[in-house]
Chains A and B, each alone.
Chain A
Amino acid sequence: MEDTGPGQGGAERLHCVVRFSEKNEPGYDYGQSDLQNLNNGTMRLQIEKLNVFVNGYHILKDVDLVVYKGEIHSILGANGTGKSSLAYTIMGLESYEVRSGRILFEGEDITRLPVWERARRGITLAWQEPARFEGLTVRQYLLLSRRASKKGPPPEEALLRVGLEPSRYLDRALDESLSGGERKRIELASVLAMMPKLVILDEPDSGIDALSINFITDSIRLFAKLGASVLLITHHEEVAAMADRSSTMCGGTVLKTGSPDEVARFYRLHCRECEHVNEPEEEVARNV
Chain B
Amino acid sequence: MSEAVSNLLKGIDYSKEFELLVEAYEKSGGTPEVLKSDKYASLAIHGNHVLGKNEVRGLRVETVETENGVRVKVQVEPGVRIQNPVHLCFGLVPEEGLQEIISDFDIGEEAEVKFIAHCSFPNALRIKHVMDSTIRLRRGAKMTYSETHFHGDEGGIEVLPTTRATLEEGAVFENEFKLVKGAVGRLKIDFKAKVGEKAVCEIYAKVYGKGDDDIVVSESLHLLGARSKGLAKSRIAVTDRARSEVIGEIVGDAAYSRGHVDCVEVIRGREAQVSAVPRLLVRDDTAKLTHEAAIGSVDKKQVETLMARGLTEDEAVDVIVSGMLR
- Please give, as numbers and ranges, the residues of chain A lying within 8 Å of B309 by CB-CB distance: 119, 124, 144-145, 147-148, 190, 194
* Interface: A215 (CB within 8 A): no
Total interface residues in chain A, CB < 8 Å? 25
Contact with B along A98-140 (1 / 0, CB 8 A): 0000000000000000111001100111010011011110000
* Interface: A91 (CB within 8 A): yes
* Interface: A93 (CB within 8 A): yes
* Interface: B325 (CB within 8 A): yes
Smallest Cβ-Cβ distance to B309: which chain A residue: A145
Q: How far is the CA of A145 from the CA of B311 in the complex (A)?
A: 9
* Interface: B72 (CB within 8 A): no
> Are the C-beta atoms of B325 and A135 separated by less than 8 Å?
yes
> Are the C-beta atoms of A144 and B308 separated by less than 8 Å?
no
The minimal Cβ–Cβ distance linking A142 to chain B, given in whole angstroms, is 10
Smallest Cβ-Cβ distance to A93: which chain B residue: B304
Q: How far is the CA of A66 from the CA of B102 in the complex (A)?
A: 71
Which of B300, B301, B307 interacts with A114 by CB under 8 Å?
A: B307
Q: How far is the CA of A167 from the CA of B148 in the complex (A)?
A: 30
| A133-B320, A133-B323, A135-B324 known; A127+B307 contact, CB < 8 A | no
Q: How far is the CA of A123 from the CA of B299 in the complex (A)?
A: 22
Which of A114, A125, A133, A149 interacts with B302 by CB under 8 Å?
A: A133
* Interface: B4 (CB within 8 A): no
- Please give, as numbers and ranges, the residues of chain A lying within 8 Å of B322 by CB-CB distance: 135
| A116-B312, A116-B313, A119-B307 known; A127+B301 contact, CB < 8 A | yes
Q: How far is the CA of A127 from the CA of B300 in the complex (A)?
A: 13
Specify the main secondary structure of chain B where it touches its partner: helix
- Please give, as numbers and ranges, the residues of chain A lying within 8 Å of B264 by CB-CB distance: 134
| A119-B307, A124-B308 known; A131+B313 contact, CB < 8 A | no
Which of B311, B323, B325, B326 interacts with A116 by CB under 8 Å?
A: B311
> Are the C-beta atoms of A116 and B305 separated by less than 8 Å?
no
- Please give, as numbers and ranges, the residues of chain A lying within 8 Å of B307 by CB-CB distance: 114-116, 119
- Please give, as numbers and ranges, the residues of chain A lying within 8 Å of B310 by CB-CB distance: 116, 119-120, 145, 147-149, 194
- Please give, as numbers and ranges, the residues of chain B lying within 8 Å of A147 by CB-CB distance: 309-311
Which of A131, A134, A145 interacts with B301 by CB under 8 Å?
A: A131
Q: How far is the CA of A198 from the CA of B306 in the complex (A)?
A: 16
Smallest Cβ-Cβ distance to B315: which chain A residue: A116
| A131-B301, A131-B302, A133-B302 known; A125+B323 contact, CB < 8 A | no
Question: How many contacting A-B pairs (Cβ < 8 A)?
Answer: 65
Q: How far is the CA of A124 from the CA of B310 in the complex (A)?
A: 8
* Interface: B319 (CB within 8 A): yes
Smallest Cβ-Cβ distance to B321: which chain A residue: A135
Contact with A along B275-301 (1 / 0, CB 8 A): 000000000000000000000000111
Smallest Cβ-Cβ distance to B326: which chain A residue: A135
> Are the C-beta atoms of B299 and A115 separated by less than 8 Å?
no
- Please give, as numbers and ranges, the residues of chain A lying within 8 Å of B305 by CB-CB distance: 127, 130-131
> Are the C-beta atoms of B311 and A131 separated by less than 8 Å?
no
Smallest Cβ-Cβ distance to A193: which chain B residue: B309
- Please give, as numbers and ranges, the residues of chain B lying within 8 Å of A124 by CB-CB distance: 308-309
> Are the C-beta atoms of A115 and B323 separated by less than 8 Å?
no
The minimal Cβ–Cβ distance linking B301 to chain A, given in whole angstroms, is 5
- Please give, as numbers and ranges, the residues of chain B lying within 8 Å of A127 by CB-CB distance: 301, 305
The minimal Cβ–Cβ distance linking A110 to chain B, given in whole angstroms, is 13
Q: How far is the CA of A186 from the CA of B87 in the complex (A)?
A: 38
The minimal Cβ–Cβ distance linking A177 to chain B, given in whole angstroms, is 14
Q: How far is the CA of A120 from the CA of B320 in the complex (A)?
A: 20
- Please give, as numbers and ranges, the residues of chain B lying within 8 Å of A116 by CB-CB distance: 307-308, 310-313, 316
Q: How far is the CA of A6 from the CA of B307 in the complex (A)?
A: 30
Q: How far is the CA of A144 from the CA of B305 in the complex (A)?
A: 11
The minimal Cβ–Cβ distance linking B71 to chain A, given in whole angstroms, is 36
- Please give, as numbers and ranges, the residues of chain B lying within 8 Å of A91 by CB-CB distance: 304, 308
- Please give, as numbers and ranges, the residues of chain B lying within 8 Å of A123 by CB-CB distance: 308
Q: How far is the CA of A99 from the CA of B312 in the complex (A)?
A: 24
> Are the C-beta atoms of A144 and B306 separated by less than 8 Å?
yes
- Please give, as numbers and ranges, the residues of chain B lying within 8 Å of A133 by CB-CB distance: 302, 319-320, 323
> Are the C-beta atoms of B324 and A134 separated by less than 8 Å?
yes
B residues near A (Cβ < 8 Å) are 235, 264, 299-302, 304-313, 316, 319-320, 322-326
Query: With A120-B310, A131-B299 given, can you name 5 additional A-B contacts, CB distance below 8 Å?
Result: A116-B307, A116-B310, A119-B307, A135-B323, A144-B319
Closest 7 CB pairs of A and B: A148-B310, A135-B323, A135-B326, A115-B307, A119-B310, A136-B323, A131-B305
- Pick 22 A–B contacts, CB within 8 A, sort by A: A91-B304, A93-B304, A94-B300, A94-B304, A116-B307, A116-B308, A116-B310, A116-B312, A116-B313, A119-B310, A125-B308, A131-B301, A133-B302, A133-B323, A134-B264, A135-B322, A135-B323, A136-B319, A144-B309, A144-B311, A148-B309, A149-B310
